Amino acid sequence: MLNVYPNLVVAGAPKCGTSSLFFWLAAHPEAASSREKETFFWAPEVNRFNAKCNVQEHGSQSYSRLFAHTEGYKVRFEATAPYLYYREAWEGLAALDPKPLVLFVLREPAARTQSQFLFETHRTGRVKGTFQDYIKEPHILDHGHYVRYLEQWKSALGAENMIVWQFEWVMNNPRQAMQELAERTGIDPTFYDHFDFAVRNETLSIRSKKLHKLGLRIQSLIPLAVQDALLPLYLKINGAGRPKADAALKAETAALKPQFAESNKALASLFPAAINLDLWR
């Protein structure tokens, strides 16, 4: 039996709509996803997502184990948002034959940083301090300089194997985005003519962290269609509302924007047809 690898990978960035994109594509009858949205197969460390299948312990060929059930589908895909930052990901995916199409969705960097802070504070509980404390961690602001990573991806994969979108455009034009993706990947774009583009994985406060952790542990055992159907009920039971940025946090976020101006310009030069800096003003 031949190894079955994905021909599409959504590789970033975190808090840029990749969960919504994953479920929108997984709903298409000609597409099949990994059982979990984020496999973290190419992560530089072993974690709870990839403990059973990862490049560090099992080698690159074991990646096919995650897609054995997708054989015969026109689109076979996964969506691990932090891949954007992993050397192992751009080197490993570029080594596949044929190379997959890799999709990136990017958000205005300061806004993405704020969203990640709120997510880690109210959803996961991993962050306990202030926004100013949070951005002192060296990698936090570095992760907003997308061009530093996409230069590596472009060198490894080639521009012909990459799609770069802006989050702001996708959220305002989901039907157009998904129909363009369908045409690019050879599946029926008319499926999205009357599709319900519900947003997934919005940053919400969680009432019970224990219940949330239990849900994450059993997630891979539940079919995606059932997950999608149960999500509104789960959020009604365990969600505690969407945290909002107060005036101080908004001001602190706005103050970050100039730090990304030069790298945003470099990103637009690297992908001139894909990046409209007016969306990030």
Instruction: Please check whether residue 169 lies inside any domain of the structure.
Output: yes
pLDDT band at 76 (very low <50, low <70, confident <90, very high): very high
Q: How far apart are CA 278 and CA 280, in angstroms?
A: 5
Confidence of residue 223 (pLDDT cuts 50, 70, 90): low
The pLDDT of residue 202 is 55
Of all residues in the chain, the percent with pLDDT exceeding 70 is: 84
For the cut 90, the answer to whether the pLDDT of residue 217 exceeds it is: no
207, part of any domain: no
- Read off the pLDDT band of 98 (50, 70, 90): very high
Task: Of 34-48, 180-194, 242-256, give the lowest mean pLDDT range.
Answer: 242-256
What is the pTM for the complete model shown?
Answer: 0.86
pLDDT tens for 142-153 read 999 999 999 999
Q: How many distinct structural domains can be found in the chain?
A: 1
First to last CA, the chain: 51
In this model, does residue 177 exceed pLDDT 90? yes
* Cα–Cα distance measured from residue 144 to residue 256, given in angstroms and rounded to the nearest whole number: 10
Please check whether residue 4 is in contact with residue 47, taking contact to mean a CB–CB distance below 8 angstroms. Answer: no
User: For residue 160, what are the domain limits?
Assistant: 8-109+145-200+261-280
**45 vs 227, which has greater pLDDT?**
45
Predicted local distance difference test score (pLDDT) of residue 162: 98
- At residue 201 the predicted structure's pLDDT band, cuts being 50, 70 and 90, is low
Residue 19 lies in a domain: yes
- pLDDT for res 224: 62
Residue 182 counted as domain residue: yes
Cβ within 8 Å of residue 5, ≥6 positions away: 63, 64, 67, 76, 96, 100
98: CATH: 3.40.50.300
Q: Is the pLDDT of residue 234 over 80?
A: no
Collect all residues with Cβ–Cβ distance below 8 Å to 134 and sequence separation of at least 6: 117, 120, 127, 140
Averaged pLDDT, 231-258: 78
Comparison of pLDDT for 11 and 36, the residue scoring more: 11
For residue 271, tell me if it sits in a domain.
yes
Of all residues in the chain, what percent carry a pLDDT higher than 90?
79
Is residue 238 a part of any domain in this protein?
A: no
Q: Is residue 220 part of a domain?
A: no
122 vs 183 pLDDT, higher one: 183
Q: Is the pLDDT of residue 72 over 80?
A: yes
Supply φ then ψ for residue 161, to 5 degrees: -105, 20
Work out the average pLDDT over 59-70: 97
Average pLDDT of 230-255?
75
Sign of CA dihedral 106, 64, 35, 125: negative
Classify residue 55: in a domain, yes or no. yes
For Cα atoms 273, 274, 280, give the angle at the middle one, nearest 5 degrees: 120
Average confidence score pLDDT of the chain: 90
96: left (phi over 0), alpha (psi -120 to 50) or beta: beta
Q: Please give the average per-residue pLDDT across 105-122, as a whole number.
A: 96
Q: Are 136 and 44 in contact (CB under 8 A)?
A: no
Phi then psi for residue 32, to 5 deg, are -135, 135
Q: Can you tell me the mean pLDDT for 68-97?
A: 98
Does 98 sit behind a cis peptide bond, omega within 30 degrees of 0 on the bond before it? yes
Q: What does R_g of the chain's alpha carbons equal in angstroms?
A: 18
Q: Per-residue pLDDT tens for 246-261?
A: 899 999 999 999 999 9
Structure confidence at residue 122 as a pLDDT band (50, 70, 90): confident
The DSSP output letter for 219 is G
Residues 204/122, Cβ–Cβ less than 8 Å: yes
HSE-up of residue 140 (Cα within 13 Å, Cβ side): 18
| Mean pLDDT within 107-133 | 93
